[in-house]
């Protein structure tokens, strides 16, 4: 294998491996046993099965792989692999995002402290150790405020403390989640520490960006639909329907944030709310956003962020000169059910045949139990569409998702 064209890829799905091979790259894949698919080994040049979230396990494998194949880049496109990939970049001086920046993005309390120390815009945040901390934080910073795990994603385990009366129930929920752990979505996360932070009021957006040697290019601003009773994301639409000043403020806030955190290369998905103080970051990830955001970007802007992520470290793609102009619009909506046991799911295949549908992901299966909506992992699926403009894309997505019927046991 040619070292200059050899990539160490940490985890992720099959399609990025296929794309990396189409770019002429040699791929050394380190995959977790719970995520391995046989096709991945057929595509990759070398496949190692190991718990890559454990540095004591990953480091000797990475050292052996580097000694044998001398790979020139390491990266991950999946959340649990971002910090391990950063460690490998640091270990061998490969460039790209290092462990420090990846850790600040993963550990939300560390991120808040880092922003505050740098004098960057942020909100008050403190660790949650016991029940008394909840009332003390409310006394200092007011209500409502947010309680969430320091290092999880998909809206898992987040609670809104609206007043002193919520401190008891929220503390019991935290205790239960610490005991039970992550019971859906993935096996690669652990519930560890919690933090409390001020609630950020205002409309929510995400900024999809790509950084080229420290120059941050906003590829898309995504309008987000969230519920009032939970922190699950119900949908995305792009281009976001925002005025020029708001778009400029979101762009500036994202660039400042990425500079302070230390992200210099690759994709980022940064979630913000436009508060009375201006845009404030909720959280960010040095990866492409979930919920089919990559597909929405391709449809609305003609940019394949996965292609850029794999190609940029090897000089196989030119840096974007600036933010692209939209060529269309796109929208994704989550499929939401009501509590109970599923009897049947209807209308999926007909929906996939629609010419404007980008993706139909349905995890709902007959016999599965649907719980009260709490986070992204409680969605039953997702539908993504494209249209000429954002208004049309939103309307079409809302119409088409209604054609999927989730029948529950006991329905007449």
pLDDT at 190: 62
The class level of CATH for 331-412 reads alpha beta
Which part of the chain has CATH 3.40.50.20? Answer: 3-95
Phi, psi of 382 (to 5 degrees): -155, 145
Which part of the chain has CATH 3.30.1490.20? Answer: 124-198
Distance CA 195, CA 185 (A): 22
Nearest by Cα to 143 from 97, 187, 201, 185: 201
CA angle 34, 40, 46 (to 5 degrees): 105
pLDDT at 175: 87
Tell me which DSSP letter residue 292 carries: T
Tell me which DSSP letter residue 323 carries: P
Cα distances from 318 to residues 212, 309, 310, in angstroms, run 9, 12, 12
Give strand ranges (E) for 159-294: 159-161, 194-198, 204-212, 215-226, 233-238, 266-275, 278-285
The class level of CATH for 3-95 reads alpha beta
Integer-rounded Cα Rg, in Å, for the chain is 21
Task: Name the stretches of the chain with pLDDT < 70.
Answer: 152-156, 180-191, 227-233, 337, 367, 371-378, 410-412
Which part of the chain has CATH 3.30.470.20? Answer: 200-327, 331-412
Contact 12, 25 (CB under 8 A): no
- For residue range 124-137, what is the model confidence (pLDDT) as tens digits? 999 999 999 999 99
Dihedral sign for Cα 224, 225, 229, 231, please: negative
Helix or strand holding residue 42 (H, E): helix 38-43
Q: Model's pTM, two decimal places?
A: 0.90
CATH 1.10.1200.10 fits 200-327, yes or no: no
Return the CATH number of 124-198, one of 3.30.1490.20, 3.40.47.10, 3.30.950.10, 3.40.50.720. Answer: 3.30.1490.20
- For residue range 275-322, what is the model confidence (pLDDT) as tens digits? 999 999 999 999 999 889 999 999 999 999 999 999 999 999 999 999
- In the numeric block, the tokens 């909100």 are attached to 123
């Amino acid at each position: 294998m040619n070292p200059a064209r050899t990539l160490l890829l940490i985890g992720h799905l099959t399609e990025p491996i296929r794309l990396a091979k189409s770019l002429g790259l040699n791929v050394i894949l380190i995959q977790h046993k719970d995520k391995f698919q046989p096709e991945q080994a057929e595509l990759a040049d070398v496949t190692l099965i190991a718990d890559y979230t454990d540095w004591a396990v990953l480091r000797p494998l990475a050292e052996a792989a580097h000694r044998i194949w001398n790979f020139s880049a390491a990266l991950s496109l999946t959340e649990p692999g971002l910090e391990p990939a950063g460690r490998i970049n640091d270990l061998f001086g490969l460039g790209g995002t290092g462990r420090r920046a990846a850790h600040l993005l993963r550990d939300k309390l560390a991120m808040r402290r880092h922003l505050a120390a740098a004098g960057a815009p942020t909100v008050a945040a403190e660790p949650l150790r016991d029940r008394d901390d909840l009332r003390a934080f409310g006394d200092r910073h007011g209500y409502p405020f947010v309680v969430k795990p320091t290092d999880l994603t998909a809206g898992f385990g987040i609670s809104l403390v609206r007043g002193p009366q919520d401190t008891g129930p929220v503390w019991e929920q935290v205790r239960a989640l610490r005991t039970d752990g992550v019971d859906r979505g993935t096996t690669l996360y652990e519930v560890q520490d919690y933090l409390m932070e001020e609630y950020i009021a205002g409309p929510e957006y995400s900024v999809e960006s790509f950084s080229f040697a420290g120059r941050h290019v906003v590829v898309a601003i995504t309008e987000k639909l969230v519920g009032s009773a939970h922190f699950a994301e119900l949908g995305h639409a792009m281009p976001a329907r925002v005025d020029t000043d708001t778009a400029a403020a979101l762009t500036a806030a994202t660039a400042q944030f990425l500079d302070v955190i230390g992200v210099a290369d690759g994709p980022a998905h940064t979630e913000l709310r436009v508060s009375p103080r201006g845009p404030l970051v909720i959280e960010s990830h040095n990866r492409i956003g979930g919920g089919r955001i990559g597909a929405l970007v391709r449809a609305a802007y003609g940019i394949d962020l996965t292609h850029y992520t794999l190609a940029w470290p090897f000089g196989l793609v030119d840096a974007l000169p600036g933010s692209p102009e939209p060529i269309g619009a796109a929208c994704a909506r989550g499929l939401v059910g009501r509590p109970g046991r599923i009897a049947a799911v209807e209308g999926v295949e007909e929906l996939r045949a629609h010419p404007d549908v980008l993706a139909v992901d349905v995890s709902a299966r007959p016999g599965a139990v649907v719980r009260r909506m709490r986070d992204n992992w409680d969605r039953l699926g997702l539908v993504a569409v494209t249209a000429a403009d954002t208004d049309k894309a939103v309307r079409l997505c809302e119409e088409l998702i209604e054609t999927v019927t989730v029948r529950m046991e006991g329905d007449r």
